[in-house]
Amino acid sequence: MLRGETISQFYRYNMLDGQEKIEEESIILDAIGGKASAFGLLYDKYNERIYRFIYLKVSHREEAEDLTHQVFLSAWKNIQKYKIQGFPFSSWLYQIAKNQVIDHYRTKKETIDINDIDEPEANNRLSDKNFDLDIEMAAIKKAILKLKQEQQDVIILRFIDDLSPKETALALNKNESTIRVLQHRAIKNLRKIIQSNHK
């Protein structure tokens, strides 16, 4: 069975949040029970999001791949500790990803100048056609990295992964009001950084 078919089967082309939640819960229960195929479905669903979240924070493709692998490996090994409390499974994965990035920066001895970020490779992921767009995107990416960690997280979860404030709050283990404040400050600071870079 192809991966695409498993994902479609997982979603069953059902756009209702409630139905999707019930299906996800049953899959999570199977994964907690030790069913590797169930966790495989969860991996297929959240792999891109977690990778994107980590990539925008470390700006290095190989490091992002390694850290993403560590996130899911840790999740699978500790799946028994996960308790279904009505929160999305992605929130738990984002928390693990955030901690992995923090640990990565702690253990990382070499420091890379933000100006030395691998821009051409990042640009390949975005677009090969519009060169101006690539330049803009590279500038925005640089600006994001200059934000604080909490503001980066909010920017990525809210405006790139399209999570709701509630989901973002759960993922970052904060209140919704805190998330809204962080969101506002993050956008404001991002705008300043981009304008200063243009100057």
Exposed e or buried b per residue across 116-148, where buried means at least 16 C-beta atoms within 10 angstroms of its C-beta: ebebeebbeeeeeeeeeebeebbebbbbbebbe
By CB under 8 A, the residues from 132 to 151 that bind another protein are 133, 136-137, 140-141
- Residues 85-124, interacting with another protein (CB under 8 A): none
The residue to which tokens 């792999």 are assigned: 47
194 binds another protein (CB under 8 A): yes
**Is residue 126 a contact partner of residue 133, using CB atoms and an 8 Å limit?**
yes
Segment interacting with another protein, rule: CB under 8 A, options 18-26, 91-99, 154-162, 171-179:
154-162
Q: How far is the CB of 18 from another protein (least distance, A)?
A: 25
Which stretches does DSSP call E strand in 80-148? none
In 3D, which of 156, 151, 50, 148 has the Cα closest to residue 100? Answer: 50
Q: Cβ of residue 43: shortest distance to another protein, in angstroms?
A: 5
Question: Using CB under 8 A, which of 80, 164, 175, 177 touches another protein?
Answer: 80
> Where on the phi/psi map is residue 118: left (φ > 0), alpha (ψ -120 to 50), or beta?
beta
Residues that bind another protein (CB under 8 A): 32, 34, 36-37, 39-40, 43-44, 47-48, 51-52, 55-56, 61, 64-65, 68-69, 72-73, 76-80, 125-127, 133, 136-137, 140-141, 155, 159-161, 187-188, 190-191, 194-195, 198
